[in-house]
Amino acid sequence: MEMNKLLNIFLPPLTIISLIFILPPFLVFKLLWSIRRSVFKENVAGKVVLITGASSGIGEHLAYEYGRRGARLALVARRTDRLQKVAGRARELGSPDVIVITADVSKLQDSKRFVDETVNHFGQLDHLVNNAGIGRPQTFEGTKNLSNYLPVMDINFWGSVYGTFFALPHLRKSRGKIVVMSSAAGWLYPPKASVYSASKAAQIALFESLRAEWGPGIGITVVTPGFVESELTQGVQVQKAKVKYPAL
Ligand SMILES: *[C@@H]1O[C@H](CO)[C@@H](O)[C@H](O)[C@H]1NC(C)=O
As a whole number of angstroms, the distance between CA 91 and CA 89 comes to 5
As a whole number of angstroms, the distance between CA 173 and CA 97 comes to 21
Which atom, in ligand 1's list, is nearest to the CA of 150? 4
Angle between helices 159-174 and 194-214 (to 10 degrees): 20
CA 12 to ligand 1 center in whole angstroms? 51
pLDDT per residue rounded down to tens, the chain (248 residues): 678 888 888 888 888 888 888 888 888 888 888 777 766 688 999 999 999 999 999 999 999 999 999 999 999 999 999 999 999 999 999 999 999 999 999 999 999 999 999 999 999 999 999 999 999 889 999 998 999 999 999 999 999 999 999 999 999 999 999 999 999 999 999 999 999 999 999 999 999 999 999 988 899 999 988 866 666 665 544 333 333 333 33
Contact in structure between 53 and 63 (CB atoms under 8 Å): no
Q: Break the chain into its structural domains and give their ranges.
A: 1-41, 44-244
Closest CA to 186 of 145, 133, 236, 144: 133
CA 233 to ligand 1 center in whole angstroms? 25
Which atom, in ligand 1's list, is nearest to the CA of 145? 1
* CB of 147 shorter than 6 A to ligand 1: yes
CA 52 to ligand 1 center in whole angstroms? 28
**Protein residue with its CA nearest to atom 4 in ligand 1:** 147
As a whole number of angstroms, the distance between CA 78 and CA 187 comes to 28
**Protein residue with its CA nearest to atom 3 in ligand 1:** 147
* CB of 145 shorter than 6 A to ligand 1: yes
Beta bridge partners of 52: 76
Contact in structure between 163 and 112 (CB atoms under 8 Å): no
Closest CA to 230 of 57, 55, 59: 57
CA 156 to ligand 1 center in whole angstroms? 21
DSSP class per residue in 69-118: TT-EEEEEES-HHHHHHHHHHHHHHT-S-EEEEE--TTSHHHHHHHHHHH
Quick one: CATH architecture of 44-244?
3-Layer(aba) Sandwich (3.40)
Beta bridge partners of 74: 50, 99
pLDDT at 91 (0 to 100)? 98
* CB of 38 shorter than 6 A to ligand 1: no
CA 145 to ligand 1 center in whole angstroms? 6
Enzyme catalytic residues = 196
Kindly report the pTM of this predicted structure: 0.80
**Protein residue with its CA nearest to atom 11 in ligand 1:** 145
Q: Which of 144, 145, 152, 244 to mutate to test the pocket of ligand 1 (most atoms within 8 A of CB)?
A: 145
pLDDT at 155 (0 to 100)? 98
Handedness of CA 246, 154, 179, 128 (dihedral sign): negative
